[in-house]
Amino acid sequence: MNLAWSFLRQNFLTVQQNRSQTITQNNKDAESNPPAEQQNKESNPTAEQQNMESNSPAEQQNKESNSPAEQQNKESNSPAEQQNKESNPTAEQQNKESNPPAEQQNKESNPTAEQQNKESNPTAEQQNKESNPPAEQQNKESVPEIEQNKESKPTLLQGKIPSKGEELKIKETLTIKEDNKSLSQPKIIYKIAKKKEGPDLSHNIDPSEISVRQDEISALKAKIERLNMEQRIFNTHRYGPVGPNTTILLVQVHKRLDYLEHLVESMKRVRGINKTLVIFSHDFWDDHINALVQNITEFRVMQMFFPYSLQLHPLTFPGRDPRDCEWNMPRNSDKDCLNKAWPDKYGHYREPQFTQIKHHWWWKINRAFDVLRVTRDWTGVILSLEEDHYLLPDTLHVLNLMLRQKPDLCPTCHVMGLGNYHLKKALPSRIFMTDWPVSGYNLGYTLDRYAWETIKELSDVFCTYDDYNWDLTLSYIVLQRITPHLGMLRVDLSRVAHIGKCGTHFKSETCNIEREIKKVNLRHDAKQLFPKNLSLHGDYSKLKGKSVPSGGWGDARDKQLCNFIFQEASGKNVTTMINTFKEDHR
């Protein structure tokens, strides 16, 4: 019995010892060799974690090497963020679909951890190369049509902001129809920016521009016609009549009262402003704007009103006729619309809120030189401004110095450039001689009678050149169609500043007029203004003209209205033409 008990006891101790050793060994193995599931979670995290830690998702990866889809779209005109979400899912979504987490993979195949890592879970870099190609490659593969359009069909507005010395960036977004999960027509938003920043441009007409009731339009047209014929000049009882050499400031006004208020205040501080005539040319009737202008007492004032505005023609040309084609309707569309035969060179159709600006500029310059009674025997110069400009106090002082020195310095310079977009500090007394590059010097420029007569000879080119920008159209005429080119004397320190970060058709939350004015004042030393003399720097600079039209001016009606405006300034009436285009011209 004792022997049997000893035998059982010995076996029990042996089993216990083996069990203890096994547990110890298993614990060591667990620490150095975790189960495949745990090992995969630590050494092969899920696709989402892999992308975040080693090879970041397309967004993060592109921020470091190739910009993310959103940033790439802004810089290379590729489809927008929302489109990428539909056609090019993010790295996280793709990895979840094509590379499930390691735990799920183990459940399906159960290979050893080492084998699983080599066969079913390749490296993060390899995963991203295979399942998440770069955003640029994704866009080229999934949206070839838009990529092609980027090269072969420049956007309608590509020439707009270069005239302001800025770059054009485009962001396209696609709206989703929730009911059938299909894509609607692309909604294109143009983003005008300098160095990746800027407000958005909408292709929709501002409702306030066409808010006048139909029963009030006739009365408003009659009032505007009466005022245009009256040509009243305010404050002549204070400052006398306009003389043959009086400088005229011609201001193109839309509807931004806040900017106009700052322009008027800057004018009041300009020395010699009471010797000028300031003409405000409006394409929008607004009682508050009219009250501001008519209550000016510091200088002579005249108002004139553009008669072919959207406000006065909300449902017919020159406004937007309901039968007109959508601006981005394809040429081969089956839709039967009024102006289908008249796209621009890029296949886009007219947008009246933009063509109105060119029409207005052409109307006001024709009227100022050739229609107004006050300029019939006048031999002065016209200084062109816009509502979002801002003048330094010595603007007219410098202009008079330039006009005085012009016969000796540059007899062929018939344009005086008082404004530019240079942001660096400049010398207040330095001037240059050059051909007139209109798009870079389209603010604070003056024209004399000779310059206008030269431009007027090419009115047909102005009215047919496929560019809705008046300044780029004029730049083409001046540098490529006029020989010799119109010469310009221009200042180094800009006396006319552009403070309109939010343009006529732009909205942005970052608009701050006071901040822009402060920036203008920081660029110069007020003590150095009003130089006694101007010093010429360098020789005459000749420029070679080379331009590509921006489009937006393909509609036959715009071309004819432009031509009739010119004829009207010569004494003809365009009322018949306006009525004619109310009919269907299909």
pLDDT category, 120, cuts 50, 70, 90?
very low
pLDDT category, 134, cuts 50, 70, 90?
very low
Percent of the chain surpassing pLDDT 90: 53
For residue 218, is pLDDT > 90?
A: yes
d(CA 62, CA 568): 57
pLDDT at 22: 54
Average pLDDT over residues 449-459: 97
For residue 2, is pLDDT > 70?
A: no
Among the residue ranges 118-127, 427-436, 452-461, the one predicted with the least confidence is 118-127
pLDDT at 214: 83
Residue range 255-269, pLDDT digits in tens: 999 999 999 999 999
Rg of the chain taking only CA atoms, in angstroms: 35
d(CA 477, CA 481): 5
d(CA 272, CA 516): 25
Average pLDDT over residues 48-74: 41
pLDDT at 193: 34
What residue type is 30 in one-letter code?
Answer: A
DSSP per position, 16-85: HHHHHHHHHHHHHHHHHS--HHHHHHHHS--HHHHHHHTS--HHHHHHHTS--HHHHHHHH--B-HHHHH
Residue range 411-441, pLDDT digits in tens: 999 999 999 998 888 999 999 999 999 988 9
pLDDT at 547: 84
What stretches of 82-214 adopt beta strand conformation (E)?
Answer: 167-173, 176-177, 182-183, 187-193, 200-201
Percent of the chain surpassing pLDDT 70: 61
Residue range 136-167, pLDDT digits in tens: 444 443 333 333 333 333 344 433 434 444 43
pLDDT at 26: 52
pLDDT at 95: 44
Helix boundaries (H) for 377-429:
395-409
Among the residue ranges 4-18, 36-50, 388-402, 448-462, the one predicted with the least confidence is 36-50
d(CA 410, CA 540): 9
d(CA 338, CA 586): 6
pLDDT at 523: 84
The highest-confidence range among 41-50, 171-180, 503-512, by mean pLDDT, is 503-512
pLDDT at 433: 96
For the domain with range 220-314+340-567, which CATH number is right: 3.40.50.720, 3.50.50.60, 3.90.550.10, 1.10.10.10? 3.90.550.10
pLDDT at 528: 92
What residue type is 346 in one-letter code?
Answer: Y
What stretches of 429-537 adopt beta strand conformation (E)?
Answer: 430-435, 445-447, 487-491, 496-498, 506-507, 535-536
Angular region, 231: left φ>0, alpha ψ -120 to 50, beta rest: left
**Mean pLDDT estimate for the chain:** 75
pLDDT at 439: 87
For residue 377, is pLDDT > 70?
A: yes
- Residue 449: CB atoms within 10 A of its CB come to 15
pLDDT category, 324, cuts 50, 70, 90?
very high
For residue 481, is pLDDT > 80?
A: yes
Residue range 224-237, pLDDT digits in tens: 999 999 999 999 99
pLDDT at 173: 33
For residue 506, is pLDDT > 90?
A: no
Q: For 431, list phi and psi in degrees, rounded to 5.
A: -135, 165
Among the residue ranges 207-211, 397-401, 579-583, the one predicted with the least confidence is 579-583
Average pLDDT over residues 558-574: 87
Coil, helix or strand for 541? strand
Q: Domain extents for the chain?
A: 220-314+340-567
Where do we find the tokens 């030269």?
454
- Residue 212: CB atoms within 10 A of its CB come to 17
Per-residue CA distances from 501 to 43, 75, 330, 403, 534 (Å): 52, 20, 32, 31, 31
Reference 562, options 376, 378, 361; nearest CA is 361
pLDDT at 177: 36
pLDDT category, 345, cuts 50, 70, 90?
very high
Coil, helix or strand for 305? strand
Average pLDDT over residues 395-423: 96
- Residue 256: CB atoms within 10 A of its CB come to 21
Among the residue ranges 106-115, 265-274, 360-369, 395-404, the one predicted with the least confidence is 106-115
Among the residue ranges 443-452, 530-539, 564-573, the one predicted with the least confidence is 564-573
pLDDT at 201: 61
Reference 395, options 249, 502, 287; nearest CA is 249
For residue 277, is pLDDT > 80?
A: yes
Residues 6+ apart with CB under 8 A from 491: 398, 402, 417, 418, 420, 426, 430, 431
pLDDT category, 507, cuts 50, 70, 90?
low
